[in-house]
């Protein structure tokens, strides 16, 4: 009996070791299902599941989908064609999953105004298996008002930018709009906001753009951030922070970076920055760059290694 238990345990361990790591990016169906309901704006004021809406904002501004209730799930929606935010979250215990959010453009390419994919207040929010692109602000930004505390988890998402395929008001085909895949803003003190980003594919945050130091992740201010199993590609900077306004604490592990000028830009004497088992492609110009000072209390960088072909780590090209 003991021999059998030992063999079974070893077999399970070997099977687990042989399983490939979960890839970064979206999986399964993203966007609307068959026969979606077409609306031009959606305001959610009651708890529940809201599913299969095609929200064509017809160029309007504001929060195109506005969630003010707690305990809401927004699922299998497409939100697009706006000059405002795709989704504004002002409730707690909110899940946004399997949604496609794109073409939220405000201002002009030369003078872009914020139009975010998903924004709002920290508060037990989960963004899962979403594809967000072509915004003139950030794919995800919490909290622009610096008025909340709580947690945010982003997992298995594709957050990207790239040249527009066609002209849009204020923009021309070929323009590459947007600032960051994610940007954090918080109250300056008190309990830290908790950020988890895992298994996400973030790419296209490169020049030309209206801003300098364009990054996939702009991790700043009063947050505790855990970044894991993410893939960064074709960006000016993959990860930067904390910026002059904050004291972000950041842990990065088991991520990979490709075609990027600066992998991690450590700024303003960031404290307790932990980087573990980061994989770098041959076309990363600078793996870690220090801005402001090389005296970074609590900094650790271990296990850096060469990256495999990106196709082995993402769910789509």
Average pLDDT over residues 23-41: 97
Spatial neighbors of 162 by CB under 8 A, at least 6 apart, are 133, 134, 176, 204
Strands 63-67 and 85-89: parallel
Lowest mean pLDDT among 13-17, 73-77, 164-168, 215-219: 13-17
Dihedrals φ, ψ of 137, to 5°?
-115, -120
pLDDT at 14 over 70: no
Average pLDDT over residues 145-158: 96
Percent of the chain scoring above 70 in pLDDT? 90
Q: Quote the pLDDT of residue 270.
A: 82
Q: Quote the pLDDT of residue 151.
A: 97
Residue in 183, 140, 160 with CA at minimum distance from that of residue 26: 160
Average pLDDT over residues 139-146: 95
291 pLDDT band (50/70/90 cuts)?
Answer: confident
DSSP letter string over 225-293?
EEEES-EEEEEEEEEEE--TT---EEEEES-EEEEEEEEEEEETT-SS-EEES-EE-TTEEEEEEEES-
In a 3-state reduction of DSSP, which class is residue 6? Answer: helix
Average pLDDT over residues 172-179: 94
DSSP-assigned letter for residue 9: H
Using one digit for the tens of pLDDT, what is the confidence trace for 199-245? 999 999 997 666 678 999 999 999 999 999 999 999 999 999 887 77
Q: Quote the pLDDT of residue 208.
A: 65
pLDDT at 294 over 70: no
Q: Quote the pLDDT of residue 22.
A: 81
Say if domain 91-310 classifies as CATH 3.40.50.720. Answer: no
Q: At which residue do the structure tokens 């130091």 appear?
A: 213
- For residue 41, count CB atoms less than 10 angstroms from its CB and return exposed for 0-12, middle for 13-18, buried for 19 or more: middle
pLDDT at 3 over 50: no
Q: Quote the pLDDT of residue 210.
A: 65
Average pLDDT over residues 90-111: 96
Q: What is the dihedral of CA 264, 268, 273, 279, to 10 degrees?
A: 10
Q: Write down the mean pLDDT value for the chain.
A: 90
Average pLDDT over residues 261-281: 91
Domains of the chain, residue spans: 91-310
Percent of the chain scoring above 90 in pLDDT? 80
């Amino acid at each position: 009996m003991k021999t059998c238990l030992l063999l079974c345990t070893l077999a399970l361990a070997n099977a687990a070791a042989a399983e490939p790591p979960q890839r970064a990016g979206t999986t399964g169906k993203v966007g609307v299902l068959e026969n979606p309901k077409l609306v031009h704006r959606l305001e959610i004021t009651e708890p529940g599941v809201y599913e299969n809406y095609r929200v064509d904002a017809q160029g309007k501004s504001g929060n195109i989908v506005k969630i003010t209730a707690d305990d809401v799930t927004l699922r299998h929606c497409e939100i697009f064609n706006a000059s405002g935010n795709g989704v504004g979250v002002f409730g707690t215990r909110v899940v946004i999953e399997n949604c496609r959010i794109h073409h939220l453009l405000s201002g002009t390419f030369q003078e872009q105004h914020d139009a975010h994919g998903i924004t709002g207040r920290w508060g037990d929010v989960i963004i899962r298996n979403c594809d967000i692109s072509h915004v003139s602000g950030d794919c995800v930004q919490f909290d622009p008002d610096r008025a909340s505390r709580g947690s945010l988890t982003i997992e298995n998402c594709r957050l990207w930018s790239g040249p527009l395929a066609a002209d849009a008001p204020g923009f021309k085909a070929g323009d590459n709009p947007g600032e960051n895949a994610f940007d954090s803003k918080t109250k300056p003190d008190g309990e830290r906001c908790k950020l988890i980003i895992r298994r996400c594919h973030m790419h296209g945050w490169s020049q030309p753009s209206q801003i300098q130091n364009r990054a996939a992740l702009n991790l700043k201010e009063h947050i505790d951030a855990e970044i894991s199993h993410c893939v960064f590609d074709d960006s000016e900077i993959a990860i930067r922070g904390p910026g002059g306004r904050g004291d972000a604490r950041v842990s990065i592990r088991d991520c990979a970076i490709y075609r990027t000028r600066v992998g991690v830009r450590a700024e303003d004497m960031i404290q307790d920055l932990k980087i573990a088992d980061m994989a770098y492609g041959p076309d990363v110009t600078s793996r870690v760059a220090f801005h402001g000072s090389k005296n970074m209390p609590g900094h650790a960088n271990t296990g850096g290694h060469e990256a495999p072909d990106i196709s082995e780590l993402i769910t789509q090209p």
